[in-house]
Structure 1
Amino acid sequence: MARIVVLGAGLGGIQTALLLAQEGHDVTVLERDPSPPPSSVEAQWSHWERPGIPHLRLTHFLLARWLQLAETHLPALVREIEQAGGVRVNTLTTDPSMRGPLMPADERFVTLTARRPVLESAAVRAAAAVNIEVRRAVTCVGLAMVPGRTVPHVTGVVTRDAVVPADLVVDCTGRRSHLLTWLRAVGVSQVQEEAAERGFTYYTRHFGSPDGRLPEATFRMLEQYGSLSALRVPADNGTWSVGLVTRGDDRELRALRDEATWTAAARQFTELRPWVEAQPITTGIQVMAGLKDRVLNLYDGRSPRVTGVVAVGDTWASTNPTLGRGLTIALEHALCLRDALRETGTDDATALAGRFGDTVRDRLMPLVRQSAAYSAHRLAEMDGHETGVPYRHPEWSAQKALALFSRDDTDALRALRAIAQLLPGAGEALSAPITAAPLAHLTSPRTAQRPAVPNQPCGGVVAKASTMADVVAALALRAERLPLPGPSRSELLAAMDTWPRTEGRSNAAATSAS
């Protein structure tokens, strides 16, 4: 079995370490931050300092696919999260469009949710239970290399105090990884990072209820308005978060750093009010900026650019946090690495890199590309809301059409949620036959919330649809012409400008992903 060094003791790093330790590998985790998690949930939330995870107190969400994989491969980790107050949530029943009883197959939409410090603490306990060594306050400064090889090969990690030898180094340090810098410092210049030019900024607050009950589901967990998106995510022990998401380059909306301005903006969306008029459990607005989609390629599809080191999770590919895919992709990624090690071991480093790279390209790269496309479309739509020129694109219109259909049809909602939760076979529902019942409603005028487009001749086409994909195609033109919900840009800015600012509370918790 191999000596494996995992960099980063966040959830992504620990779940990777757990999977590899199960295989009998000698796994050591190196963590820069010095402090282990406190024992109580309250202290974890209020006092635990984790500079290496600047988004520790922002919104986090584990997709249903993560729970499926974790229950199969890491059941002890799931138990630790639940014992700490993590809550099982069915992502169908939290949607206000859900109608009728749940079906047995709807169990697949269940996920487990908790605040990030609770998730991190549970992971640390799960690692300790199987004697995985986590070395804290270890600062890594570079990589140890074998000189003279055609393909550069890593043999360990250089820290401030020593060299930690390894048959394989697994970097799970996330968006702030120094791996690219370390590789270039030892002459590995062909490794390139592919990054989007623009991204998003998140402005988040957490709330709690004395009786542990959450407000009624008055809007979807992700709602796309004009100049901003809104996230509401249930968490552990009667808490939840609300995040307002803007373009990273939207200077006017940077005023959302102020508590009172943030509240004024949120209150412009009637359905958000029950969620933001509760008791906050944080002071100030938690801000995360510089969040762009990016990929670090260590394998070009023919040969590895470097061996002895791999990038897993956000170190390899950072996706738009709005979709909540990061930790789920990280677990899938770690499973790809485990399986590649089963097949090749570490003795043939080139074979390991190739097998791992091919699997990731086939299984995970499509998800990363989808996330990048979503970001590009949503940024363009936000641009259009500011300029007054609506954004239209066939791919984006189809996505919006499915979301529109899902407000009226439960099977469409199931299809939408399956896609969002990365469930296996999610796309199959789009080709399933559709009954006539939902079509009658779709061919009638829309409600005031989703007004009809005048003279829009799609009713007859919808009535002839035989599959859900047919309905989505027929509704695409209608969906792209619907006005975006929520206030206009001018109305939103006016509400923010007239609200008194909170002295001393603006920019209280701003961090950057760069």
Structure 2
Amino acid sequence: MDQPILIIGAGMAGLFTALALGSRGHAVTVLERDPPPPDGGADAAFADWSRRGVGHLRHSHAFLARLRSILIERHPALHQRLLAAGCQELSFASGLSPRSAARYKPEPGDADLTVLTSRRTTLELVLRQYVAELPTVTLRSGVNVAGVAGAVTDGVFVCEGLKLDDGEVLQGIVVDAGGRSSQAFDWLDEAGIKAPEESEDAGILYYTRHYRLRPGMEPPERGAIPGAGDLGFIKYGVFPADNGCFSITLAVPEIEETLRLAVMRPETFDALCTQMPGVAGWIDPARSEAVSKVFGMGDLKSRWRDMAPGGRPLALNLFPIGDGLVRTNPLYGRGCSFAAVSGELVAETLTGQADPSARATAFAARVRSELGPYFEDMRSQDRAAIRRARNALNPSYRPGFKARAMKSFTDDGIAIALRRDPALLREFMRGFHMLEDSRAWLKRPANAVKVLGAWATPRGLKKDWYPPRLGPGRADMLAAVGIDPAADPRRLGFA
């Protein structure tokens, strides 16, 4: 294929697509509206890089095993650069509780479950520098795309290139990696092409603060209480990063209006963290210091757009990817992995198919096959979490039989089985890390038997495998940090 390829956006999706195409020898031009990163390395990028198009740039990130596997298999030199820049790798074994670790027997495939961690700015900086060095890739910053060039023929938009706001027109196949602010679907609308869309709120907001370990200090040792968990009214997670840095994210249901307004205050954010034993040790002033304000992120939606409904493409030579095409709740950190996978799918499609219509149809089918199960899984979990958050604020709520049974199956069956059987947890984590369908592990008869066995075991015989208390209840925690726990129930008419 000798057609030039134009990529809108130099975020994760754009850079991973440029990496996939450029490493295969395709001529690629990446057009980014934001300025390039400042000089000064990882810390300067975190402090000063202006990325208007990436609202979540300074939120917590962990890069799943699927993304890491793409780097190791196809771009080992880039993987080594990331490690040299201070990115960390967290193994499957390192995430086990002390009790589970005592039962753990290593297997060769465990290395495939390793997580890559760093500040988002560090990974993006190193990735961008590496991509810019590829001989067939040109990266242009400060460029605003005004629209797509092309026309509708027989009900299908045939893309010919891009129009820039300075009047320049570039010819080529277009990959839209413009992220959440992508205009590609608006441009298609203007041409009379409407892509079917599924969209709904994730029901949660994110709040992140960054810290750095003091000189000579190490992270707390892994204990029985994990550094990530769900208290029902708040989810929390500690994210180790590069060069002694780490971040903490608190995820608050939208319905908890009073809490989510208060958590933006740094003193309230830290006070909440000190209430949770799995987090408190990280922000001990003797161990670390805060190095940022609290960053908020809202407008979180699950969204799926279909570029080939019923197998009929809506556009030729135009490939939307990333958050503009598929978005999920960031809770499981799948966005960057979606970006890396999508980049590989674009490259494989353009390399393997010559006909534009066949390319469009094949790409849409591959996206549905590769990403669809994780989208559906996350959306189902979001719906359940939204219901739980509302019920938690209603003192008169009483769960029905089905709700009680499902909670028991999850808490007394699945969770117990995963905690006491590292081999089962290994299979679960393969789905978590997008190495297979996230629901596949429980469909295997041997695994289902283990879960049902754990569920049927009397509570007294499995009491040591229940998790320790992750933190105070809602009323106690909110009162401890100066928040009225009855404010939202009153607002909703529950109290």
Interval of TM-score (by shorter of Structure 1 and Structure 2): 0.7 to 0.9
1:423 to 2:428 alignment: no
Contact 1:211-1:238 at 8 Å conserved across structures: no
Contact 1:5-1:169 at 8 Å conserved across structures: yes
Output the amino acid matched with 1:216: E
Output the amino acid matched with 1:155: E
Report the Cα distance in structure 2 between the residues aligned to 1:148 and 1:107, rounded to whole angstroms: 50
Aligned to 1:120: 124
> For residues 249 and 307 of structure 1, do their structure 2 counterparts lie closer, same or farther at Cα, with a shift above 3 Å needed?
farther
Output the amino acid matched with 2:476: E
Mapping 1:71-86, distance limit 5 Å:
71-86=72-87
Report the Cα distance in structure 2 between the residues aligned to 1:267 and 1:257, rounded to whole angstroms: 16
Aligned to 2:489: none
Residue among 152, 160, 184 paired with 2:157:
152
SS in 1 for 2:198: strand
Contact 1:156-1:163 at 8 Å conserved across structures: no
Aligned to 1:63: 64
Aligned to 1:165: 170
Report the Cα distance in structure 1 between the residues aligned to 2:437 and 2:190, rounded to whole angstroms: 43
1:450 to 2:466 alignment: yes
Per-residue deviation, 1:423: 2.2
1:363 to 2:370 alignment: yes
Residue among 325, 328, 332 paired with 1:323:
332
Deviations 1:286-326 (A, max 9, x none): 11111111112221032011222111122211111110111
Residue among 197, 200, 219 paired with 2:201:
197
Report the Cα distance in structure 2 between the residues aligned to 1:397 and 1:378, rounded to whole angstroms: 16
Aligned to 2:387: 380
Aligned to 1:464: none
1:303 to 2:288 alignment: no
Aligned to 1:486: 471
Contact 1:242-1:276 at 8 Å conserved across structures: no
Per-residue deviation, 1:198: 4.3
Task: Name the TM-score, length of structure 2 as normaliser.
Answer: 0.86
Per-residue deviation, 1:193: 2.9
Report the Cα distance in structure 2 between the residues aligned to 1:498 and 1:65, rounded to whole angstroms: 40
SS in 2 for 1:23: coil
SS in 2 for 1:293: strand
Deviations 1:359-417 (A, max 9, x none): 22222212211111121122222222222436638777655542332222222322332
1:285 to 2:299 alignment: no
Per-residue deviation, 1:6: 0.9
Contact 2:431-2:441 at 8 Å conserved across structures: no
Contact 2:202-2:329 at 8 Å conserved across structures: no
Report the Cα distance in structure 1 between the residues aligned to 2:277 and 2:382, rounded to whole angstroms: 26
Report the Cα distance in structure 1 between the residues aligned to 2:22 and 2:179, rounded to whole angstroms: 21
SS in 2 for 1:155: strand
Report the Cα distance in structure 2 between the residues aligned to 1:351 and 1:56, rounded to whole angstroms: 35
1:108 to 2:122 alignment: no
Per-residue deviation, 1:441: 11
Contact 2:277-2:470 at 8 Å conserved across structures: no
Aligned to 2:446: 432
Output the amino acid matched with 1:322: L
SS in 2 for 1:280: strand
Report the Cα distance in structure 1 between the residues aligned to 2:418 and 2:398, rounded to whole angstroms: 22
Report the Cα distance in structure 2 between the residues aligned to 1:94 and 1:155, rounded to whole angstroms: 49
Aligned to 1:263: 270
Which shifted more, 109-118 or 418-427?
Answer: 418-427
> For residues 286 and 363 of structure 1, do their structure 2 counterparts lie closer, same or farther at Cα, with a shift above 3 Å needed?
same
Report the Cα distance in structure 2 between the residues aligned to 1:383 and 1:260, rounded to whole angstroms: 27
Contact 1:226-1:484 at 8 Å conserved across structures: no
Report the Cα distance in structure 2 between the residues aligned to 1:398 and 1:182, rounded to whole angstroms: 47
Report the Cα distance in structure 2 between the residues aligned to 1:200 and 1:371, rounded to whole angstroms: 13
Question: Which runs of no fewer than 5 residues in structure 1 stay unpaired?
Answer: 452-482, 500-514
SS in 2 for 1:294: strand
Which shifted more, 377-386 or 137-146?
Answer: 377-386
SS in 2 for 1:257: coil
Contact 2:65-2:115 at 8 Å conserved across structures: yes
1:351 to 2:358 alignment: yes
Contact 1:226-1:486 at 8 Å conserved across structures: no
Which shifted more, 320-329 or 241-250?
Answer: 241-250
Contact 1:268-1:487 at 8 Å conserved across structures: yes
Contact 2:4-2:26 at 8 Å conserved across structures: yes
Which shifted more, 109-118 or 171-180?
Answer: 171-180
Contact 1:44-1:118 at 8 Å conserved across structures: yes
Contact 1:381-1:390 at 8 Å conserved across structures: no
Contact 1:226-1:485 at 8 Å conserved across structures: no
Aligned to 1:99: 101
Per-residue deviation, 1:354: 0.6
Output the amino acid matched with 1:63: L
1:412 to 2:424 alignment: yes
Contact 2:272-2:481 at 8 Å conserved across structures: yes
Output the amino acid matched with 2:197: E
1:129 to 2:133 alignment: yes
Task: Name the TM-score, length of structure 1 as normaliser.
Answer: 0.83
> For residues 435 and 28 of structure 1, do their structure 2 counterparts lie closer, same or farther at Cα, with a shift above 3 Å needed?
closer
Aligned to 1:473: none
Aligned to 2:216: 211
Per-residue deviation, 1:13: 1.1
Aligned to 1:333: 342
> For residues 484 and 88 of structure 1, do their structure 2 counterparts lie closer, same or farther at Cα, with a shift above 3 Å needed?
closer
> For residues 89 and 485 of structure 1, do their structure 2 counterparts lie closer, same or farther at Cα, with a shift above 3 Å needed?
closer
Deviations 1:246-291 (A, max 9, x none): 1134211121001111122222222221123343343321111111
Contact 1:258-1:285 at 8 Å conserved across structures: yes
Output the amino acid matched with 2:49: W
Report the Cα distance in structure 1 between the residues aligned to 2:140 and 2:341, rounded to whole angstroms: 25
Output the amino acid matched with 1:2: Q
Report the Cα distance in structure 2 between the residues aligned to 1:350 and 1:318, rounded to whole angstroms: 25
Report the Cα distance in structure 2 between the residues aligned to 1:394 and 1:316, rounded to whole angstroms: 36
1:15 to 2:20 alignment: no
Report the Cα distance in structure 2 between the residues aligned to 1:150 and 1:143, rounded to whole angstroms: 16
Report the Cα distance in structure 1 between the residues aligned to 2:405 and 2:5, rounded to whole angstroms: 46
Report the Cα distance in structure 1 between the residues aligned to 2:36 and 2:28, rounded to whole angstroms: 20
Contact 1:377-1:396 at 8 Å conserved across structures: no
Residue among 173, 179, 182 paired with 2:184:
179
